Structure 1
Amino acid sequence: MRSLFKRCMSALACLLLALPAAAQPLPYHVDPDAREILPNLQPVPAIRFLTTADFPPFNFRDPGGELIGFNIDLARRICIEVNVACTIQAWPWDQAANALADNQGDALIAGLSMTPENGELYDFSSVYLALPGRFLTRAQAVEGFRAETLDGQKVSVRAGSAHEQFLIRYLPNIERMEFDDELEALEAVKSGSVAAFFGDAMRASFWLNDNLACCGFAGEPYFRPDLFGDGLSIAMPAGNDAVRHAIDWALVRLKQNGALDELYLRWFPVGFY
């Protein structure tokens, strides 16, 4: 995932600051019945966020070296919402989780996976953004698209990915066209050599930024935590309940007051929901 982001970092930063957000479906991962009580913030005088600088558009450096991104903005809004001081420090990816475990920060907002192994060391906030799989087709095929009509047709996918496993499991009658590179799989749709692409909707949305004239998302997003992961959440050292409750309370509030939607529309001008 990170290698693809690095390849489009500078172009994406400029694009996100220039494009207006179009009307689009918004993510909703907050329990509508949640009635969180503001936690006692006395033991949380500040939240020390750790992140990385290599994960655009979530956390990365702009051409001037400033740390920016969806996660950076979200961390700051969380601190404002609970009215505590906030610091954000970037670490190399291979050191960030260990830094959190060594108590060099209170929370890691950098896409750490909620695996059983990580669950033994860290607690996690509620999910603030899930990462669905989606089909992408030529523009003329978007309207009225149904996945079952792809039987016998060519669909590009990254070889060995969870999205390929989805196609094998649910659409065994399509002709899978495997690519080692996700961008090549997307270009196959543009060239017309395949009927559709299936893959990570978030990453595909970056490619669509430059290819809206030819192509678009087709059909509904597919949320399969067993294949595509649970989504993005914030990690904390196990047992740091005060910070976890504060962050979860803030996430509910940010969804209710529209701030979370505002951030999504800003950083994802071509939405993937």
Structure 2
Amino acid sequence: MAQNLPLHVDPGAREEVFDTSAVPALRFLTTADFPPFNYTDGAGNLVGFNIDLANAICMRLSASCTIQAWPWDTVQDALADNQGDALIAGLAIDGQSGSRFDFSRIYLELPARFVASADTAPLFSPRRLTGPLGVRQGTPHAQLARRLLPNVEIIEFPSELAALEALAREDIAAFFGDGMRAAFWLNENDDCCAFAGEAYFRPDLFGSGFAVAVPAGLDNVRAAINWALIRLAREGRLDELYLRWFPVSFY
């Protein structure tokens, strides 16, 4: 399967200067219950895309690094109390979190995708869709599908998995929803189905994506993380991490 990679950095963006000695150490906070981003493996080790990224940021800055897992319901308060320098755990960027924290540049967006049978995916177009379209009920994806495809029968399912299994049984003609969750399913069902068409990026509906949160006003840490993210992207390291954890690209 051909791999489309995220565009992490604007190729025309100007080079920024940053003195890495200004941040000799970073204390990352995370959680242990958000696979494949941050979770504990069978041996009790903290692993995941976010964990690898935090370590890569520290290495690029030549900074000593600690990563500590907290329960989700207390980790934001821990960051606000300066018990860590940064939170890398998929915290949504919204009005509530924006009033408490500053955020790094986005390092991973979460697009919506169509999924169709492997036979029809190469020539798929939502405008030519005639069969039922599966969506997860109550999601922005379902709302968008109804608005953009008013003449298509929309069938709602309790989860992405239920909708994708219906696609595998040929009960529906296509699925539209969260690309990341669909990618995990396709990793085990690539003989049946495939991503169809292009990725849909709508931050107003699907969220801004993933960024690192830092305590409000901790500008040196935010600048350091941004500097490291840009260089990791330009050096190809972010692409390596992305393909390691997401072998079926949802881009």
Task: Give the alignment partner of residue 169 of structure 1, picking from 131, 147, 153.
Answer: 147
Which among 239, 251, 256 is matched to residue 217 of structure 2? 239
* Cα distance between partner residues in 2 of 1:36 and 1:78: 17
Q: Any gaps of 5 or more consecutive residues in structure 1?
A: 1-21
Structure 2 alignment gaps of length 5 or more: none
Over aligned residues, Cα RMSD in angstroms?
1.1
Q: Deviations over 1:161-219 (max 9, x none)?
A: 01001102211211110011221111110000100011100011111111111011000
Deviates more, 1:28-37 or 1:94-103: 28-37
1:258 aligns with 2:236: yes
CA distance in 2, matches of 1:117, 1:31: 28
What is the aligned partner in structure 2 of residue 104 from structure 1?
Answer: 83
After TM superposition, list the pairs within 5 Å mapping 1:65-214 onto structure 2: 65-150=44-129, 152-214=130-192
Shift in Å, 1:43: 4.1
Corresponding pairs, count: 251
- What's the counterpart of residue 32 of structure 1? 11
Instruction: Give 2:53's aligned amino acid.
Output: L
Q: Contact 2:24/2:62 (CA < 8 Å) preserved in 1?
A: no
Identity across the alignment (%): 59
Q: Which amino acid aligns with 1:121?
A: R
2: CA distance, partners of 1:270 / 1:58:
15
Q: Quick one: which amino acid aligns to residue 209 of structure 2? A: G
Give 4+ residue runs of structure 1 displaced > 4 Å after superposition: none
Q: Distance in 2 between matches of 1:23 and 1:193?
A: 27
Q: CA deviation at 1:145?
A: 0.9
Asked if structure 2 preserves the Cα contact closer than 8 Å seen for 1:41 and 1:242, the reply is: no
Cα distance in 1, alignment partners of residues 184 and 87 from structure 2: 24
Once residues 139 and 57 of structure 1 are traced to their aligned partners in structure 2, the CA distance between those partners, rounded to angstroms, is: 26
Q: Which amino acid aligns with 2:142?
A: E
Per the normalisation by structure 2, the TM-score is 0.97
User: How far 1:23 moved relative to its partner?
Assistant: 4.3
Task: Give 1:48 shift.
Answer: 0.4
Residue 116 of structure 1 aligns to which amino acid in structure 2?
A: G
Deviation at 1:37, TM superposition (A): 2.7
By how many angstroms is 1:41 displaced?
3.8
Please report how far the alpha carbon of residue 36 of structure 1 lies from its aligned counterpart in structure 2 after TM superposition. Answer: 3.8
Q: What amino acid maps onto 2:74 in structure 1?
A: Q
Contact in 2 for aligned 1:125/1:235 (Cα 8 Å) = yes
